[in-house]
Structure 1
Amino acid sequence: MTIRASEHGSKEQISWIRLRSVSLPLRAAVSDAKVLTGRQKPLDSVQLLLADIETSQGHAGIGFSYSLRAGGPAQYAHAQEIAPLLIGEDPNDIARLWGKMAWAGASVGRCGVAAQAIAALDTALWDLKARRAGLPLSKLLGAHRNAVPCYNTSGGYLQAPIEEVIEKASQSRERGIGGIKMKIGQPDRQADLRRITALRKQLGDQVPLMVDVNQQWDRITALRMGRELEHFALEWIEEPLDAHDITGHAALAAQLDTPIGTGEMLTSASEALAYVDTGAVDVIMHDAPRLGGITPFLKVANAAEQRGMIMAPHFIMEIHLHLAATYEHQTWVEHFEWLEPVFNERLEIRDGMMIVPDRPGLGLSLHERVDGWTLAQTEVGKRA
């Protein structure tokens, strides 16, 4: 039997929620291999689902999810359906509330858009809990470190000539970012090899270098290219195959010395756990907003920790920095400056590390410019 907060005497209840659909423009459109192979169009904006939650005692939290190219309106629509279910609930019961929201949309499943709508609300609840405790989210969860190795991805897209990629890599290094990741997976494999050769020559052998194929190789190409890439001493080859090809990733990881990573396109904990439980990759790269929030992310991270896997969460450094700080084994956080205009705060980077904020919760507050990017918003409940 489920008992609401008001029925068992809890003094604190969720009293107000605001949802906003936001379109954040990028300074310049970017293209990865999915564009060059004709599967997608260049990316020129990020669609955000923002959630503000307040309680009857005046505590508040913020959370967000996102989509690229398509799906933002669907996330917002589903969030509007499930947000009213949280009014009157105890905000401490995060796991139960995740299940309540998931069951409400059971007919459309517990992955994809449905999970990503939950993610914004789930993250807001975790932010609220940590703020109320006066702790950074990492400390609330139990941190292993106060800084996490970081690498830049946003400077390595394929629309940019290699000279620009090298220049941005140098700028990232000067800023204190530790590693550099570049996009590959072009139809012309030799062009990929020329770009990697040029960047490695510029960076030197000691700088961590990663490549991201964005799912554009078949199994034979992945093995052949993987062997070509062995002498570059890469930290990993990311998404060499279709994101759901567990068997193919496992076979590739077994045949190459270079670590293999994937996970960013998975949209449920069960999908990510299938990679972890079978040891199909060396680096698990799951994404909290895509999986359904912090609650399912932690389930995958705990399982990966038991296997001693490398963890390198995808995108959204503003959330993943805290989660990576709680991971016992080797971990990275991915640097993208794309979402910086949304927040008043900036993350500190030095000596190859991203510093975990000591501010309560995620340590973030929304900039007033978000109002100008808001496409739609809705409120449920009443503010205390």
Structure 2
Amino acid sequence: MAHHDDKIRHVEISLIQVPLKNAVSDAKVLTGRQQPLSHVAVLTADIETVHGARGFGFSYTLRAGSAAIFAHARELAPFLIDEDPNDIGRLWEKLAWQGASIGRSGLAVQAIAAFDTALWDLKAKRVELSIGKFLGCYRTAIPCYNTSGGYLNATLDEVLRNVDTSLDKGLGGIKLKVGQPDLSKDIERVRAVRKHVGDSVPIMVDANQQWDYTTALRAGCELDEFNLVWLEEPLSAYDYAGHARLAEKLKTPIATGEMLSSVAEVQNLIEQRSVTFLQPDVPRVGGFTPFLRIMAQAEQHRLKLAPHFVMEQHVHVAAAFQNETWVEHIEWLEPMFNERLEIKDGLMYLPTRPGVGFSLSGQALEWRVAHARV
């Protein structure tokens, strides 16, 4: 039941370190830029109103930054007290202005994302709809693909076994990591997987920003023969013009956008015609509020959407996007939640549970490393 005079009574935030079963490596590790990834740090926000309405949201960070995102969220939380939780856009702006000195991208907005998602969760729960249905659906089942089986720390034999497991689970597409120092090894992997699955299974490849333009063009020309859905992050995430030049020369569509952390940065990709598949990330750009602005621009430019990671949130925006869309299946956060997404015949189904449709498991609370209540 909606109350017109409802106000936020308290806000609780937590930092949870979710361990990965096995540490994973992409091309950034092989080039010495990063260490293998072993944990995902998740910032959660619980918001409760005077009338007892509740909202749950979360954001995340990989590698360094978790202490900072928690600290910033703790500073912002008091500014939500006594506010009307329905005024989501205004509250986003209010929090953004508090942190204006550290900018409107990256950590500054990723802390806001947890609150923003909690407010959308609360609002959708009032009317007992999932966020996807609340926004308005174009579909309730979205094509999905698996990423976690195709990392470079896995041998080719392991990758092929992972591919079989993914397809048996009902996942639709397979994404492979590339960008090794030796390009012929990348091509060998992709060729082996294409041969293994046949022509009809969708395959995507992801270079994680590890090529320069010349290498990317060479690699892209060789990869063109495999009829890939897309070539992801061939260049630096901020090389908008380079991606646009590649897109003109290759048959394989270009996908990028996951590293960008503001509406303005993603707008650059769109305006410079750098991509066919736009890959923004709800928590990274600051929550559902900014993500909806990105969606509107993407629809206007007839782009396709394939949001990065966090399938628990992205299933909602993908359901509400007009054009072709994919959801990335990475199961890393599953142990955090009591609920699971339904997947069959290559499709991921929008939860019918209200709001985001997820609640924290007892296991998640054991992994909690910081906590504050305002």
Task: Determine if contact 1:276/1:300 at 8 Å carries over to the other structure.
Answer: no
Give the deviation of 1:10 after TM superposition.
4.3
Partner of 1:153: 147
Partner of 2:186: 192
Partner of 2:253: 259
Give the deviation of 1:160 after TM superposition.
0.4
| Aligned mate of 2:64, from 64, 70, 74 | 70
| Aligned mate of 1:204, from 195, 198, 203 | 198
Q: 2: CA distance between counterparts of 1:100 and 1:306?
A: 28
Q: 1: CA distance between counterparts of 2:21 and 2:247?
A: 36
- TM-score under structure 2 length normalisation: 0.99
Give the deviation of 1:304 after TM superposition.
0.3
1:235 pairs with 2:233:
no
SS of the aligned residue for 2:292 comes to helix
1:38 pairs with 2:32:
yes
Task: Determine if contact 2:206/2:232 at 8 Å carries over to the other structure.
Answer: yes
> What are the superposed Cα offsets for residues 139-189 of structure 1, whole Å, 9 maximum, x if unpaired?
110111011000000010000001111101111101110000010000011
Give the deviation of 1:308 after TM superposition.
1.2
Give the deviation of 1:249 after TM superposition.
0.3
Q: 2: CA distance between counterparts of 1:244 and 1:39?
A: 17
| Aligned mate of 1:112, from 106, 114, 135 | 106
Partner of 2:279: 285
The residue correspondences of 1:78-89 to structure 2 (distance < 5 A) are 78-89=72-83
Q: 2: CA distance between counterparts of 1:121 and 1:265?
A: 21
Q: 1: CA distance between counterparts of 2:208 and 2:6?
A: 45
Task: Determine if contact 2:241/2:272 at 8 Å carries over to the other structure.
Answer: no
Q: 2: CA distance between counterparts of 1:284 and 1:124?
A: 25
SS of the aligned residue for 1:155 comes to helix
Q: 2: CA distance between counterparts of 1:156 and 1:298?
A: 30
Q: 1: CA distance between counterparts of 2:238 and 2:276?
A: 15
Task: Determine if contact 2:177/2:207 at 8 Å carries over to the other structure.
Answer: yes
Give the deviation of 1:278 after TM superposition.
2.5
Task: Determine if contact 1:277/1:303 at 8 Å carries over to the other structure.
Answer: no
Give the deviation of 1:118 after TM superposition.
0.3
| Aligned mate of 1:94, from 85, 88, 97 | 88
Task: Report the AA paired with residue 32 of structure 1.
Answer: D
**Structure 2: segments with no counterpart, 5+ residues:** none
> What are the superposed Cα offsets for residues 321-353 of structure 1, whole Å, 9 maximum, x if unpaired?
000000010000000110000000010001100
- TM-score under structure 1 length normalisation: 0.96
SS of the aligned residue for 1:338 comes to helix
Instruction: Determine what percentage of the aligned residue pairs are the same residue.
Output: 56
**Structure 1: segments with no counterpart, 5+ residues:** 1-8
Partner of 2:321: 327
Task: Determine if contact 2:305/2:325 at 8 Å carries over to the other structure.
Answer: yes
Q: 2: CA distance between counterparts of 1:29 and 1:267?
A: 25
Q: 2: CA distance between counterparts of 1:278 and 1:192?
A: 28
| Aligned mate of 1:296, from 287, 290, 307 | 290
SS of the aligned residue for 1:227 comes to helix
State the number of aligned residues.
372
Structure 1 runs, 4 residues or longer, greater than 3 Å off: none
Partner of 1:164: 158
Q: 2: CA distance between counterparts of 1:203 and 1:185?
A: 22
SS of the aligned residue for 2:137 comes to coil
